[in-house]
Amino acid sequence: MSQHKRILVTGGAGFLGSHLCERLVDQGHDVICVDNFFTSQKTNVTHLLDRANFELIRHDITHPLYLEVDEVYNLACPAAPGHYQYNPIKTMKTSVMGSINLLGMAKRCRAKILQASTSEVYGDPEVHPQPESYRGSENTLGPRACYDEGKRAAETLFMDYHRANGVNVRIVRIFNTYGPRMHPFDGRVVSNFIRQALDGVDITVFGDGSQTRSFCYRDDLVEGIIRMMNGPDEFVGPVNIGNPGEFTILELAQKVIAMTGSKSKVVHKPLPADDPTQRQPDITLAREKLGWAPEVKLDEGLAKTIEWFKSVDFADFRAPTPNY
């Protein structure tokens, strides 16, 4: 029996989605990339268009989608605060209505389906590091709730389709990820700091910079979610996929300045509402169930990311929203 599968990747032209598509195409699978190009770049997948086993469709998953597939990776949703807060109702619709549409398709096709959830479901955590058993400390009324609560609702939908309809689901909770093909104007700290450092302008740090994040290189992340999709059916998750190495935002800024040789200075601005003070995954479950752990150290990953940022012209990128 052929091991080649028909695989749908929603959000497939995004930063992570494009690398996932690339991996799956190289493995010989028939890959359908679906994206509405709100925050993604068509150039992320241009190099795949002449591959016979790759197909690109412009579509918004808040509308029904009718395809015949064996597996679905659902990565579709704006993930940077400036972007998901730009149209918060649409963000919630993407997580909720998009999940319903894709789960319905998976049910009909008897397809396996993976939800790219997020560490944001933990809110501003009171437990550190965060294990999957931690239920979170989330403000349902705040400006980040459209994303955080949308992803939590998506997890609920996935589990209900699994229990009620026997849909073969997987849930991964992705922590901060970085690497080549990040949108220079996505508003994330890594892309912001590198772009500002290369432009020689002040690097913006919100608050005093003591808040922490854990940064996972994109290759490690993609490997983790593929392992989860191919893992045992009895393990549906959720499972944390991220790098447990913890750094303060100020440490990251100083590291980027040093590695780019920039003359940029750090300037501080007020901390946004509900910005988590700590973020670090407990990856015990991923180690035990998937045999997965990140391998790329921050300095190595940053060096590759900086080189990519140097290779592109920022003028070729349009900021998806005014909030970056």
User: What pLDDT, in 10s, does the model give residues 226-273?
Assistant: 999 999 999 999 999 999 999 999 999 999 999 999 999 999 998 887
All domains of the chain, ordered by start, with CATH? 6-177+216-241 (3.40.50.720), 179-213+244-275+297-316 (3.90.25.10)
Give the pLDDT score at 9: 98
d(CA 30, CA 43): 20
Q: How far apart are CA 70 and CA 269, in angstroms?
A: 47
Whole-number pLDDT of residue 142: 93
Residue 36's nearest CA partner among 112, 108, 98, 116 is 98
| Interval 45-93: pLDDT, tens | 999 999 999 999 999 999 999 999 999 999 999 998 888 999 999 999 9
DSSP class of 136: -
Average pLDDT over residues 149-160: 98
Range of 19-23, 139-143, 313-317 with top mean pLDDT: 19-23
3-state secondary structure at position 239: strand
pLDDT in tens, 203-225: 999 899 999 899 999 999 999 99
Query: Percent of the chain at pLDDT above 70?
Result: 99
Lowest mean pLDDT among 133-147, 150-164, 168-182, 296-310: 133-147
- Using pLDDT thresholds of 50, 70 and 90, give the confidence band for residue 1: very low
User: What secondary structure letter does DSSP report for 271?
Assistant: P
2, pLDDT greater than 70: no
Torsion of CA 215, 220, 224, 225, to 10 degrees: 80
Angle CA 307–308–312, to nearest 5: 120
Per-residue model confidence as pLDDT tens digits over 268-304: 998 887 777 888 899 999 999 999 999 999 999 999 9
* Contact status, residue 314 vs residue 278, Cβ threshold 8 Å: no
Q: What is the pTM of this model?
A: 0.94
Quote the pLDDT of residue 179.
97
- For strands 71-74 and 177-178, give the pairing: unpaired
CA distance 111 to 32: 14
CA distance 287 to 240: 10
Average model confidence (pLDDT) across the chain: 94
pLDDT of residue 322: 79
Catalytic residues: 147
pLDDT of residue 169: 98
Mean of pLDDT values over 302-309: 97
- Give the model's pLDDT for residue 323: 64
In the chain, % of residues over pLDDT 90: 83
Q: Give me the sign of the Cα torsion angle 84, 89, 90, 94.
A: positive
Helices (H) and strands (E) in the chain, counts: 9, 13
